[in-house]
Amino acid sequence: MKLFSCLMALLLFLLQAVPGLSLPKDTLRCVGYHGFCFHSKSCPEPFAAFGTCSRRQKTCCIDTTSNFHTCQDEGGHCVPPEIKCLQEQVGLCPHREWKCCTEV
């Protein structure tokens, strides 16, 4: 799995270095969260849906057995950056700048 992540990071670096060949923003966000893009609307086990890829043509799926769990899986909720958390939680939020809080 680590080898695949390293190869994906290298691919992203190369695609960003060549003008006009960059990936769509939603795909970059998915890969940034160590996700994978699937053609189907639902993700196979042990993956969970976490947004879109390829300009909303595919589903971004993250591995639920990895350290990258969604905020709701960890018992928190996602809030925009202007809201202050009393206690922050580790977990992924579907919006880039949002944070995961257990208490607001």
CATH topology of domain 69-103: Anthopleurin-A (2.20.20)
CATH topology of domain 24-68: Antimicrobial Peptide, Beta-defensin 2; Chain A (3.10.360)
Confirm whether 24-68 and 69-103 share one CATH topology: no
Per-residue pLDDT tens listing for the chain (104 residues): 566 665 666 665 555 545 445 788 888 888 777 788 888 888 888 888 888 888 888 998 887 776 666 777 777 888 888 888 888 877 777 676 788 888 75
CA within 13 Å, CB half, 74: 23
Q: Give the pTM.
A: 0.48
Domain boundary assignment for the chain: 24-68, 69-103
- The answer to whether 36 touches 49, Cβ cutoff 8 Å, is no
pLDDT, position 85? 86
Say whether 100 sits in a helix, a strand or coil: strand
- The answer to whether 40 touches 61, Cβ cutoff 8 Å, is no
